[in-house]
Amino acid sequence: MAKHGANGQLITPQEATISTAQVEIQVLRVGHKHVTQAMFRQLPYREIVDWWRFAWKPEDEVPLEGRPWGYVNYWWAGNDLENTTYLDDRRMLFPNPGARLHLVWQAQERLYRDIVFETIPQHLFGYDRPLRDYETPPLQACRREVALWWFGVWEQWRALPQLYIAV
């Protein structure tokens, strides 16, 4: 029996094929044991970005406290509130910092976890209100430049491998 594809084209069984894809799953381990959810929760929470040394010029690099390994897609109630850098934004006029990643990163011989968001914390730069039409064009351009630059940082982190943990 023939079926219609998404574009309305008729697909016949003679045209359809099945292929095998090879995928790589990266598992977070301690020694020979899989990291469990309970073990993951015990990783110390520490922000990877040193916000005190942060300069938002596009030619500068983000001052990282260590090397990111990847991200884990595991969340529990209230854990994204651990990132206190964004709490002031949520209390003010930026209640939704966008998508988030639970980063695993290394500093010296220790592993940490951090929750990073798609948008830069607005209050750090005195952006305690949303972009307004009446603001000067240079300020509007500056805010857009910062947002685009941070989005590039975000995309680099999103491109890191997803690390799997045991249930």
Provide the domain count of the chain: 1
The answer to which of 11-15, 36-40, 123-127 has the lowest mean pLDDT is 123-127
Q: For residue 74, what are the domain limits?
A: 24-164
Q: What is the mean pLDDT of the chain?
A: 78
Band of pLDDT at residue 21, cut at 50, 70 and 90: confident
pLDDT in the model for residue 5: 56
Asked if residue 10 belongs to a domain, the reply is no
**Long-range contacts of range 27-30, CB-CB < 8 Å, 24 or more positions apart?**
27/163, 27/164, 27/165, 28/70, 28/72, 28/104, 28/163, 28/164, 28/165
pTM comes to 0.72
Asked if residue 9 belongs to a domain, the reply is no
Vertex 92, ends 90 and 96: CA angle to 5°? 35
CA-based end-to-end distance of the chain: 41
Asked if residue 77 belongs to a domain, the reply is yes
Asked if residue 19 belongs to a domain, the reply is no
Asked if residue 130 belongs to a domain, the reply is yes
Query: For 97-151, how does the pLDDT look when each residue is reduced to its tens digit (9 = 90+)?
Result: 778 899 999 999 999 999 988 887 766 655 545 555 555 566 667 777 777 888 8
Residue 4 and residue 37: Cα distance in Å, rounded?
Answer: 43
pLDDT in the model for residue 41: 93
Query: 90 and 78 in contact (C-beta within 8 Å)?
Result: no
> Of 85, 99, 89, which is closest to residue 151 (Cα–Cα)?
99
